[in-house]
Amino acid sequence: MALDNEQITKYQTLYKNRFGKEISREEAYEQGVKLIRLVELIYKPMTEVEYQKLQERRRQTGDL
């Protein structure tokens, strides 16, 4: 996983706007790569079959 210069600069801008602190390109790159890896690990698209099972469970439980 690699970030290009534009993505690094954008991350630096977002970080500064959110936290009021400037970070180096190296730090922005490292944090950006870690963030992307975290999303990759926790995000798993749902299949159509899984979605249908979820909808059925919701109907049965009444959206507890």
Domain map of the chain by residue range? Answer: 5-61
User: What angle (nearest 5°) sits at the alpha carbon of residue 44, between those of residues 38 and 46?
Assistant: 160
What pLDDT does residue 63 have? 61
d(CA 59, CA 2): 43
What pLDDT does residue 62 have? 79
* Backbone angles phi and psi of 3, in degrees to 5: -110, 140
d(CA 1, CA 33): 7
Radius of gyration, alpha carbons of the chain: 19
Tens-of-pLDDT digits for all 64 residues of the chain?
A: 789 999 999 999 999 999 999 999 999 999 999 999 999 999 988 999 999 999 999 999 976 6
**DSSP 3-state assignment of 50?**
helix
